């Protein structure tokens, strides 16, 4: 782009004429003269874009012209003074315009300075903002990272919980299987051996002569010991895994177990059951038996109850077993949530029930006692 200078107003050809005319009129004026004419010429010069030097030149030419045509006699000094006055008056509009320009230049400079200050302030606050944005972005990144780490840890912990649960279930299943085997071995092997020994002892006793009375009484005592052992092993084997459960069913097994409990502890046990419960498969009847067994063990061990009521009833599509005692209560949630349960009693009960898609709840009410509630669904064909 080329820069073009704006066209400078050429001094009007009429201006020197006007200057001369007005100066003459001014000098001819009666005193006191004022500066009106001169200032009028000055304003015209200003609007034509002239400067003080142009006025000076015009003034010089005009005074020369007047000198040749004017009669200054006697009043030369006065004329010179008045002509000088005219000249200074003609300069006034230009001078005023210049002052205004200077003033507006000064204002502009001032405004520029203020703007520069504002710009510097803006730049500073921009830098602060940028720093703040960077800081926040870094903070957000840290939070995002922490969140994703937390999510990963949560997933890991959930996986571990799942694994732990699976292991617990495996242990419970393995336990049941092992108990079955040990029970069978005790019944079939140990008991048979003991019985065999007893038979041998009996034969020995009969064969011994009368003189050997001492030996005979010793043999009889040993026979009684062996009998006691046989009974103990039977009882142990039954508790471990009651054959009745497999052979006769849940209700006979619960009755037999209740008899064993009441024989040892002064406690009344009432059992009410609906016969349809036996339609459950062996594994699920075993679960109900184990839950009842553990619940009764807890009553004996902790409740100081005088009475227990076991009720097995049918619900639509499900079986419900309740074991309610009238003993002292305990804080169920606190015990269940305790991080390091001493035993697997209550937790094992719940695990067993949940393994077969059931639900176990325990309610303990001060002054009333504790109720263990197990509910398991019937499977297709069991109803």
The site string for Mg ion over 247-286 (x = CB under 5 A, - otherwise) reads ----------------------------------------
CB of 294 to ligand ADP, least distance (A): 6
CA distance 360 to 158: 22
Among Mg ion, ligand ADP, none, partner that 370 touches (CB below 5 to 8 angstroms by kind): ligand ADP
CB of 345 to ligand ADP, least distance (A): 2
CA distance 101 to 84: 26
CB of 370 to ligand ADP, least distance (A): 4
Q: Is 293 in the site for Mg ion (CB under 5 A)?
A: no
> Both tokens of residue 136?
């926040």
Residue (of 241, 248, 247) closest to 185 by Cα position: 241
> 49 or 345: whose CB is closer to Mg ion?
345
CB of 363 to Mg ion, least distance (A): 16
CB of 330 to ligand ADP, least distance (A): 4
CA distance 226 to 195: 8
Residue with tokens 């710009």: 119
Q: Which stretch binds Mg ion (CB under 5 A): 52-60, 78-86, 297-305, 308-316?
A: 297-305
Q: Give the residues lining the site for ligand ADP (CB under 6 A).
A: 298-299, 301-303, 325, 327-328, 330, 335, 342-343, 345-346, 370
Among Mg ion, ligand ADP, none, partner that 49 touches (CB below 5 to 8 angstroms by kind): none
Q: What is the 3-state secondary structure (H, E, C) of 320-369?
A: EEEEEECCCCCCHHHHHHCCCCCCCHHHHHHHHHHHCCCEEEEEEECCCE
CA distance 225 to 234: 14
CB of 293 to Mg ion, least distance (A): 10
> 201 or 347: whose CB is closer to Mg ion?
347
**Contacts with Mg ion in 338-357 (CB under 5 A)?**
345
Q: What phi and psi values does residue 8 have, to the nearest 5 degrees?
A: -75, 130
Among Mg ion, ligand ADP, none, partner that 30 touches (CB below 5 to 8 angstroms by kind): none
> 3 or 334: whose CB is closer to Mg ion?
334
CB of 138 to Mg ion, least distance (A): 55
CB of 343 to ligand ADP, least distance (A): 3
CB of 223 to Mg ion, least distance (A): 38
> 44 or 292: whose CB is closer to ligand ADP?
292
Question: What torsion, rounded to 10 degrees, do the Cα atoms 128, 130, 134, 135 define?
Answer: 20
Q: Is 298 in the site for Mg ion (CB under 5 A)?
A: yes
> 46 or 291: whose CB is closer to Mg ion?
291
Among ligand ADP, Mg ion, none, partner that 320 touches (CB below 5 to 8 angstroms by kind): none
Among Mg ion, ligand ADP, none, partner that 216 touches (CB below 5 to 8 angstroms by kind): none
> 98 or 326: whose CB is closer to ligand ADP?
326
Among Mg ion, ligand ADP, none, partner that 85 touches (CB below 5 to 8 angstroms by kind): none
> 287 or 299: whose CB is closer to ligand ADP?
299
Among Mg ion, ligand ADP, none, partner that 330 touches (CB below 5 to 8 angstroms by kind): ligand ADP
> 44 or 299: whose CB is closer to ligand ADP?
299
Q: Give every CB contact of residue 91 below 8 A, 6+ residues apart in sequence.
A: 42, 52, 55
Binding site for Mg ion (CB under 5 A): 298, 345
């Amino acid at each position: 782009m080329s820069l073009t200078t704006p066209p400078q107003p050429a001094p009007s050809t009429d201006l020197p004429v006007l200057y001369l005319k007005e100066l003459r009129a001014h000098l001819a004026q009666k005193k006191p003269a004022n500066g009106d004419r001169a200032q009028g010429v000055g304003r015209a010069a200003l609007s034509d874009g002239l400067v003080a030097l142009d006025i000076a030149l015009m003034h010089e030419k005009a005074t020369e012209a007047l000198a040749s045509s004017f009669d200054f006699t006697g009043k030369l000094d006065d004329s010179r003074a008045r002509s000088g006055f005219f000249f200074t008056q003609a300069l006034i509009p230009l001078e005023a315009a210049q002052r205004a320009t200077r003033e507006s230049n000064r204002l502009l400079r001032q405004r520029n300075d203020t703007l520069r200050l504002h710009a510097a302030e803006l730049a500073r606050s921009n830098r602060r903002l940028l720093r703040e944005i960077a800081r926040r972005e870094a903070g957000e990144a840290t939070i995002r990272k922490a969140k994703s780490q937390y999510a990963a840890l949560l997933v890991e912990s959930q996986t571990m919980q799942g694994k732990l649960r699976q292991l617990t279930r495996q242990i419970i299943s393995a336990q049941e299987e092992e108990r079955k085997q040990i029970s069978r071995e005790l019944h079939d092997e140990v008991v048979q051996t003991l019985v065999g020994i007893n038979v041998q002892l009996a034969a020995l006793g009969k064969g011994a002569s009368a003189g050997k009375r001492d030996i005979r009484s010793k043999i009889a005592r040993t026979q009684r010991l062996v009998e006691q052992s046989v009974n103990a092993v039977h009882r142990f084997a039954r508790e471990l895994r009651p054959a009745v459960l497999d052979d006769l069913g849940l209700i006979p097994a619960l009755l037999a177990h209740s008899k064993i409990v009441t024989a040892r502890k002064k406690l009344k046990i009432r059992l009410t059951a609906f016969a349809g419960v036996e339609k459950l498969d062996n594994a699920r009847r075993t679960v109900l038996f184990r839950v009842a067994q553990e619940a009764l063990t807890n009553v004996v061990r902790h409740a100081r109850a005088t009475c227990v009521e076991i009720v097995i009833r049918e619900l639509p599509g499900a079986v419900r077993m309740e074991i309610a005692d009238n003993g002292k209560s305990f804080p169920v949630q606190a015990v269940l949530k305790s991080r390091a349960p001493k035993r697997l009693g209550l937790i094992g009960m719940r695990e067993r029930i949940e393994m077969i898609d059931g639900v176990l709840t325990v309610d303990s009410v001060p002054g009333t006692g504790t109720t263990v509630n197990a509910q398991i669904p019937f499977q297709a064909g069991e109803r």
